[in-house]
């Protein structure tokens, strides 16, 4: 069965701190896709990244970086030098190749960045 676990319900940091959001997934499929979405207070989810199961290269985009490790079924997200505008709920999601038309979301991690 497919499942995404985000064990951290809420994280609070002070501006400029680095923070890592954890994501652990379960799937029987060998081909799958992993995503991160951000949900600010306005409510609309905003796409951050998509990674397929064959690409384990870590990725960096500005202050954001992602660490994909198939050996531990994890796809963690790090924000470097956090800012108040990073405050939001972050969701990790999984899509399997055999069932590619829906995303399985984790329960999300609420990040609060204080000035």
Compose the 15-44 pattern: x for residues touching other proteins by CB under 8 A, - for all others.
Answer: ------------------x-x-x----xxx
- Shortest distance, CB of residue 4 to other proteins, whole angstroms? 8
Phi, psi dihedrals of residue 69, rounded to the nearest 5° = -130, 105
Please give the span between the terminal C-alpha atoms of the chain, in angstroms, as a whole number. Answer: 41
CB of 62 or CB of 101, closer to other proteins:
101
User: Parallel, antiparallel, or unpaired for β 64-69 and 59-61?
Assistant: antiparallel
CB of 17 or CB of 87, closer to other proteins:
87
Q: What span, in angstroms and rounded, lies between the C-alpha atoms of 39 and 43? A: 6
The residue from 20, 58, 83, 107 that contacts other proteins (CB under 8 A) is: 107
Q: How many residues does the chain have?
A: 115
Given a contact cutoff of 8 angstroms between Cβ atoms, the answer to whether 109 and 9 are in contact is yes
Residues that bind other proteins (CB under 8 A): 4, 33, 35, 37, 42-47, 50, 52, 91, 93, 95, 100-108
């Amino acid at each position: 069965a497919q499942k995404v676990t985000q064990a951290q319900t809420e994280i609070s940091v002070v501006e400029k701190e680095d923070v890592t959001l954890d994501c652990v997934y379960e799937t029987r499929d060998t081909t799958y896709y992993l995503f991160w979405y951000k949900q600010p207070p306005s409510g609309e989810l905003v796409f951050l990244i998509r990674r397929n199961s064959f690409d384990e290269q870590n990725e960096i985009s500005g202050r954001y970086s992602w660490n994909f490790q198939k050996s531990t079924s994890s796809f963690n997200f790090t924000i470097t030098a956090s800012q108040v505008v990073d405050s939001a709920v972050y969701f990790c999601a999984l899509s399997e190749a055999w069932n590619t038309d829906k995303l399985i979301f984790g329960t999300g991690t609420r990040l609060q960045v204080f000035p």
